[in-house]
Amino acid sequence: MAVEGGMKCVKFLVFIFNFIFWVCGVALVAIGIYAHLALNQALVAGSNSAASSPVAIMVVGIIIFFVSFFGCCGAWKESYCMVTTFAVLLSIIFLVEIAAAIAGYVFKDKVRSVLEEGLWDTMRKYGEDVPLTEAVDKLQEDFHCCGSNNYTDWATLERFRVNNTVPRSCCRVNTTNCNVNPTTSTIYVEGCQKGIEAWMKKNILIVAAVALGIAFFEILGIVFTCCLMKGIRSGYEVM
């Protein structure tokens, strides 16, 4: 059975919206990968709850990617079963996103403590694992920071306190003894936590804008998909 008249327009809109969902899914995956790579140095310490945030964004993007592809096929073939399944899956995704947004707002104050815990765990393992050490060095070099709260945090660790040193990645200019007897003129004094939080606040607007855009199109997609379902079920004729 096919769809005619106004239902052809609905079918076309459903197809277009699914293509937009597909693009949004790709965008979320890209944002998740970017966030994961940018924050990997801070999260590599093993703070699973913090590391799961960019991973969750990627997972949602992948799910939207496949669901939208499923919806495109359903609209193109005018399959009532596929279109119905798509509408149900899209509704579930929308509700999950709403729940995630609420949870994120409720637990936003825990982000700071989780980040600080991750940084301290990383610092304690510094020098014991080569990839981990390299990750910490890259973090401090990229964010121009030293320690978690400030450079004196390294003095709480025995291996640095006995020699009055900090990692060389804390140095403003990397020279032979720049990390020995550190001063505010030779090393970065601000902690990495502040820099990472500033980065997150700056980029959270991008994530929020993308999320709002996706939610808007999801609502429209659900409405038009329901209209298409009704048209297919009514048995109107196509082209």
pLDDT digit string, tens, across residues 155-164: 999 989 998 9
Query: Do 132 and 98 share a structural domain?
Result: no
**Residue 199: inside a domain, yes or no?**
no
Of the pLDDT bands very low, low, confident and very high (cuts 50, 70, 90), residue 97 is confident
**Residue 176: inside a domain, yes or no?**
yes
**Residue 22: inside a domain, yes or no?**
yes
Other beta carbons within 10 angstroms of residue 166's beta carbon come to: 26
Instruction: Give the residue from 20, 32, 98 showing the smallest Cα distance to 60.
Output: 32
Burial 222-232 (b: 16+ CB within 10 A, else e): bebbbbbbebb
Query: Do 144 and 47 share a structural domain?
Result: no
Query: Do 100 and 10 share a structural domain?
Result: yes
Query: Do 103 and 50 share a structural domain?
Result: yes
Can you tell me the mean pLDDT for 193-205?
Answer: 78
pLDDT, residue 78, reads 72
User: Is the pLDDT score of 33 beyond 50?
Assistant: yes
User: Is the pLDDT score of 127 beyond 80?
Assistant: yes
User: Is the pLDDT score of 46 beyond 70?
Assistant: no
The tens digit of pLDDT for each residue in 209-231 reads 767 777 777 787 778 778 777 77
Query: Do 186 and 211 share a structural domain?
Result: no
pLDDT, residue 7, reads 61
Q: Residue 181: which CATH number? A: 1.10.1450
Can you tell me the mean pLDDT for 15-25?
Answer: 75
pLDDT, residue 187, reads 94
Distance CA 207, CA 102 (A): 15
**Residue 11: inside a domain, yes or no?**
yes
pLDDT, residue 156, reads 92
Query: Do 57 and 17 share a structural domain?
Result: yes
**Residue 45: inside a domain, yes or no?**
yes
User: Is the pLDDT score of 47 beyond 80?
Assistant: no
Query: Do 217 and 107 share a structural domain?
Result: yes
**Residue 1: inside a domain, yes or no?**
no
Query: Do 89 and 11 share a structural domain?
Result: yes
Query: Do 102 and 140 share a structural domain?
Result: no
Can you tell me the mean pLDDT for 114-119?
Answer: 80
**Residue 75: inside a domain, yes or no?**
yes
Distance CA 70, CA 86 (A): 7
pTM: 0.57
The domain tally of the chain equals 2
H, E, C per residue of the chain: CCCCCHHHHHHHHHHHHHHHHHHHHHHHHHHHHHHHHHHHHHHCCCCHHHHHHHHHHHHHHHHHHHHHHHHHHHHHHCCHHHHHHHHHHHHHHHHHHHHHHHHHHHCCCHHHHHHHHHHHHHHHCCCCCHHHHHHHHHHHHHHCCCCCCEHHHHHHCHHHHCCCECCHHHECCCCCCCCECCCCCCECCECHHHHHHHHHHHHHHHHHHHHHHHHHHHHHHHHHHHHHHHHHHHCCCCC
Distance CA 200, CA 202 (A): 5
Query: Do 144 and 211 share a structural domain?
Result: no
Can you tell me the mean pLDDT for 34-39?
Answer: 66
Instruction: Give the residue from 73, 57, 63, 56 showing the smallest Cα distance to 19.
Output: 73
Query: Do 152 and 70 share a structural domain?
Result: no
The range of the structural domain enclosing residue 150 comes to 127-193
Query: Do 25 and 93 share a structural domain?
Result: yes
Can you tell me the mean pLDDT for 145-172?
Answer: 92
**Residue 155: inside a domain, yes or no?**
yes
